[in-house]
Amino acid sequence: MFFAFEGINGCGKSTQVDAIYAQLWELGYQVAKAKEPSTLGDRIRDLLIEKNNISDKTRLLLFEADRAENLDKNIRPALAESKIVLCDRYTASTIAYQRYGNNLDASLIDSLNEIATDNLQPDLMFWIDTPLKVCRKRNEQRDDKSTRHIYDESFLSRVRFGYSQIAKEFPSKMIRIDGNQSVPQVSTRILSAIKSYMIVSKSRNSISDHF
């Protein structure tokens, strides 16, 4: 199974990936973590920080190249070992950031997402919807290397709007989680959605085994 975690910078998704990973592990599941940008993407991120004048289209292609690599090297091998994969950002990030944030063409992004992933979609996406103000405060407190400084408030509110549109378009795939709660409250909500999904897909599989 494959679950993606989404949201604007500072929404708390990386914390949730770690928390859910630990809880699933304790429950006895084999779990793997993945992240975009990945290791290749970290180099891309350096490039983005060093060269802020990089074009939006080039940035899109770099994210997609990183995605293809991450899938081949990390996600597919883990899925082949029947692990539950928790991925910090995936295709919805590109729709939210490059389509809604940078106003790049929607069909170009959809085609590139499809090419990079061979249409491998997550079972569920968790959109951690944390108020912009809270995210900004968290980002200011962090001192790690990040692309966050290239985003202004209006860009991030367009990205947030992008996520809301994806959630509207794919209500059974993208689950909005209120990020303005404590870390354990957010994890409880995500874990319960994962458990429900597992129960439903298990019963679906056992029904199809009978036919």
CA distance 135 to 48: 21
Contact of 128 with 7, CB cutoff 8 Å? yes
CA distance 15 to 200: 27
CA distance 211 to 209: 6
Nearest-approach distance from CB 89 to ligand TMP, in angstroms: 4
Q: Which residue has the tokens 């794919």?
A: 170
Of 4, 16, 36, 163, which one interacts with ligand TMP (CB under 6 A)?
36
Nearest-approach distance from CB 146 to ligand TMP, in angstroms: 5
**Residue ranges in 86-145 that form contacts with ligand TMP under rule CB under 6 A:** 89, 93-94, 97-98
Q: Which residue, 142 or 195, is less far from ligand TMP as judged by CB?
A: 142
CB-based burial of residue 148 (10 Å sphere; 0-12 exposed, 13-18 middle, 19+ buried)? middle
Q: Which residue, 163 or 167, is less far from ligand TMP as judged by CB?
A: 163
Contact of 156 with 32, CB cutoff 8 Å? no
Residue nearest to ligand TMP (CB): 97
Q: How many CA atoms lie within 13 A of 156 on its CB side?
A: 21
Of 2, 3, 5, 63, which one interacts with ligand TMP (CB under 6 A)?
63
**Residue ranges in 144-183 that form contacts with ligand TMP under rule CB under 6 A:** 146-147
Of 2, 3, 9, 19, which one interacts with ligand TMP (CB under 6 A)?
9
Q: Which residue, 45 or 189, is less far from ligand TMP as judged by CB?
A: 45
**How many residues touch ligand TMP (CB under 6 A)?**
11
Nearest 10 degrees: Cα torsion 200, 206, 210, 211: 50
Residues that bind ligand TMP (CB under 6 A): 9, 36-37, 63, 89, 93-94, 97-98, 146-147
